[in-house]
Amino acid sequence: MKNTFLITIFLLILSIGCKTPRLGTENYIKNSIEEHNPNQFSEIQTFTLFQGIVSGIKKNGGGYIELVGYNYKNEKKLVISSDKRGILNKNFEEDQGIITNEGSTTFYNTISLRDCNLIVEKLEELESKARSSLDRVQRNNTLYFDYTISEKLYISIELVNLGGYYHETYIHFWINGQKFSLPQRKIIPKIKKFINWKV
């Protein structure tokens, strides 16, 4: 009985520490990226960088997003899986919330290692543009700075003057025309970790 309890605790700790892609992202990687030929072996390695509900700002720009890196045939790329389902709606601060479906818009975008470097580099430049433009934004006005990574992905800094000298800066990833407001402190270090991933 004691051994069963210890094994259960060990498996629980192990499962908490391991992140695997969601089934949809895994299906995309295994069936759209990895090639499967009869009588041949194949191998692909994945690295889950981020997965979770993105609440957005003032209930806008939310959804679910997942960043999964992979190494296949000695080439590293990143899959961004995004959808607008599974948004947690809360009525008040302490509310546990209810997860609701907002439709079935799931997208998979594969970006190169070069584009990952561009995201990090250009996001820093966009933030610099925003900081140097504080005096250009009048009260209750918004100024956007965008950089296009690919046809289906661009990054955006939103600078909002909330009154007087109080400004707020938001970071958005626009994926397939859908806005995802991402926490920069979480996302950029994860993308840097993927760039430096030793396979």
Give 150 or 107, the one with higher predicted confidence. Answer: 150
Residue 64's domain spans which residues? 23-32+43-195
Domain-located, residue 3: no
Domain-located, residue 37: no
Domain-located, residue 6: no
Domain-located, residue 4: no
Rounded to two decimals, the pTM is 0.73
Domain-located, residue 91: yes
**pLDDT at residue 121 in the model:** 94
Domain-located, residue 124: yes
For 74-90, what is the mean pLDDT? Answer: 76
Q: How many domains is the chain built from?
A: 1
In tens, the pLDDT along 12-56 reads 333 434 566 666 888 899 999 999 999 999 999 999 988 877 766
Domain-located, residue 138: yes
Please enumerate, as own/partner, the contacts of 69-73 that have beta carbons within 8 Å and a separation of 24 or more: 69/194, 69/197, 70/29, 70/33, 70/44, 70/45, 70/46, 71/44, 71/45, 71/47, 71/197, 71/199, 72/33, 72/34, 72/43, 72/44, 72/45
